[in-house]
Amino acid sequence: MPEQQVSANNGKHSRTAATFSGRVTGMSCGAGLAHSRLGWVFVLMAIATPAWSQSPRSSQSFLNPSPSTSDSSLAQPPHLILGQTGSSRSAREDHYAAARRKLVETRIRTAGVTNEAVLKSIETTPRHEFVPAAVRDKAYFDMALPIGSAQTISSPFIVASMTETLDPKPTDKVLEIGTGSGYQAAVLSPLVAEVYSIEIVDELGRRAAGVLSKLGYENVHTRIGDGFLGWPEASPFDKIIVTCSPESVPVPLVEQLREGGSMIIPVGERYQQTLYRMTKRDGELVREPLRPTLFVPMTGTAEDARQTLPDPANPKVVNQDFSDPPGTDDPEGFVPGWYYGRQVEQVALPADGAEGAKDSGLVRFENETPGLGSHLLQGIAIDGTKVSLIRLSARLRTEKVVKGPDPDAWPMVAISFYDELRRDLGTFSMGPYRGTRPWRDDSRLVRVPRAAREGIVRIGLFGATGTVEFDHVSIEKID
């Protein structure tokens, strides 16, 4: 297909904004599933991302909550900025700048990102310019946000962490698979020599190119195309960053990575993925698993070749009893089957279950700092046309649990639902749990929205202090 050079003029001078080649149908490679203070990412939709806030509160009203709803007011992300306040553009920009500084200092630096150049780029990149007006008031929450076409912009923490892991150098030529909103490319722009970014969804790619051009990111080049194929005429690349998940690494990307170069990519099943750093040595990739994660799928050629598909008619929680041992390729220090963990450990129990749990394992969340995240997430496929009612269950105990600074910063178990465009359909919870109480079982029936196609299960302290342990967190299909 012929390529089209799209130029833009900012009133001062013209510059090439992007390169487009052809029209490709399908979903964007887009952003990861929601991360927030809930830890890693991305994803979603929200999954996430998601889509994902630090506490499991829906951004919309609950859909048909059952009478057993234990709390219909779950905590939102910290309000770093409430919207476009102020009487002028400069006043709004001052508020945005203050929100970015607070985001970096209270959410990203404290979560472990230490590269000062990366932190500076996050602090100076106007994320509000890359999100739709309808969600601009949440631009500096540490959460994924919908950007249209069933895609999301990753949470700032995920973008910062992946960028730091990429180890960008001023001389690097970087290939990004999944332009999405253009925010990841914008963050990379001041850190490297050139960024080449591919987006499979025409509408998203053109919109991102326009924003990048308007803001003056002259070293970012974009194209519409299937990211599976890479950008061969611009290769080799020093670094490749993939913001969507194939089941296996696309061969063209391996071929286009220079010898000694590195690739950051989430790989795995649709809802069970691992983020890897892969280094090319002697023409082969050497894998280093980094952490469990959840990103939107790499569509096009990659998705057509996917072998293992989820079963949305029979939703289940993986490693629900927290007894699964880490696999041979699982990163150390993480809970198998779950992701975006903060201040959590999986504990193996004696065979006699001496600690009171029913199974041979549990997860323990401990937090001493009010408001600091401590949680786990897991994404599931669930089709509301095939599943109308589920039972959400868990076994738990608490010790010296004290409410955190946010209105609903208590331990809880929650599930959030999203439609095929990854729009938030509501969150349903059990809890809150408080004080010191021995092991007990809790459950509730949850009516599944008919439009639901994905869900996120969340457990943890969510900003409360103390200790909470969970065992056997499950979903049972009732109808």
Q: Which residues are catalytic?
A: 154
Are 260 and 160 within 8 A, CB to CB? no
**Per the structure block, which two tokens stand in for 447?**
């009516």
Name the DSSP letter for residue 77: P
Are 158 and 113 within 8 A, CB to CB? no
Q: Is the peptide bond before 432 cis (omega within 30 degrees of 0)?
A: yes
Q: What is the CA radius of gyration of the chain?
A: 22
**Per the structure block, which two tokens stand in for 351?**
């065979």
Q: Within 10 A of 259 (CB to CB), how many other CB atoms are there?
A: 10
Q: Give the angle subtended at the CA of 32 by the CAs of 133 and 119, to the nearest 5°.
A: 80
Distance CA 227, CA 256 (A): 12
Cα dist from 339 to 12, 24, 467, whole Å: 46, 32, 19
Q: Give the angle subtended at the CA of 29 by the CAs of 289 and 147, to the nearest 5°.
A: 120
HEC per residue, 439-474: EEEEEEEEECCCCCCEEEEEEECCCCEEEEEEEEEE
Reported as type and span, the H/E element at residue 376 is strand 375-381
Distance CA 319, CA 23 (A): 41
Distance CA 311, CA 346 (A): 26
Strand 361-367 with 465-477, pairing: antiparallel
Q: Which of 63, 41, 146 has its CA nearest to residue 375? A: 41
Are 293 and 50 within 8 A, CB to CB? no
**Total count of residues recorded for the chain:** 479
Please list, residue by residue across 377-416, b when 16 or more beta carbons sit within 10 angstroms of its beta carbon and e when fewer do.
bbbbbbbbeebeebebbbbbbbeebebbebebbbbbbbbb
